[in-house]
Amino acid sequence: MNECEFLRDHISQFITLLNDLNNVEVKIDDENQTMLLLCSLPSS
């Protein structure tokens, strides 16, 4: 899996997780979503 595919999959899973949380009425504001996504990415 190349880096682009990894990022695409990672972001897709992240969005799925946010949608699942939203479905159970857990709200995360946009700024925190951004920070969570950035912190979840690998350092390289």
User: What's the pLDDT score for residue 8?
Assistant: 96
Q: Is the pLDDT of residue 39 over 80?
A: yes
Q: What is the pTM of this model?
A: 0.83
Residue positions counted in the chain = 44
8-27 pLDDT per residue, tens: 999 999 999 999 999 999 99
> Using CA atoms, how far apart are residues 39 and 44, in angstroms rounded to an integer?
12
* Start-to-end Cα distance in the chain: 15
